[in-house]
Structure 1
């Protein structure tokens, strides 16, 4: 790892569709770019999804033969093309 790289977990490239639910912004479906033991990066493109850092969301993988569990996540990083979400505590 580079000296200035603060990542705690190793990232693995993974493209999957995920549903992201935000209490105020609503429900969206995005593609993932990578995943790690700590979280996932979602590619937002031109969608009107602009959460604040620290916002809580629920995320569910789409396209599986059975419904995937909804995971509680927190927005921890914003880039020009998407957001880093970290596995978080229970969202109320």
Structure 2
């Protein structure tokens, strides 16, 4: 691990559709780029989705034969192509 590497979980490449709901910005469907035990990265193309670091969102995987659980997540990172979301252990 390099000196600037801060990740504590190994990432696994995974492409899935997820519904992301933000209390003020609304509801969006994005593709994931990777997932880990700590969270997920969602790719945001041209959608008007611009949350602040620390904002809470709900995330639900789409396209499964049964409805997936809705998970509480926190926006922890922004890049040019999307957002890193961390599982919110304090979420209800």
TM-score, normalised relative to structure 2? 0.96
Matches within 5 A, 1:6-85: 6-85=6-85
In 1: Cα distance, 2:79 partner to 2:2 partner: 19
Task: Mark the runs of 5 or more structure 2 residues left unpaired by the alignment.
Answer: none
Partners in 2 of 1:62 and 1:27 — Cα distance?
A: 13
CA distance in 2, matches of 1:2, 1:54: 26
Question: Runs of 4+ in structure 1 displaced over 3 angstroms?
Answer: none
* In structure 2, C-alpha distance between the alignment counterparts of 1:20 and 1:62, rounded to whole Å: 10
Q: What is the match of residue 90 of structure 1?
A: 91
Cα offset for 1:3? 2.2
**5+ long unaligned stretches in structure 1:** none
Q: Deviations over 1:10-37 (max 9, x none)?
A: 0000000000000000000000000000
Deviation of 1:85 (Å): 0.1
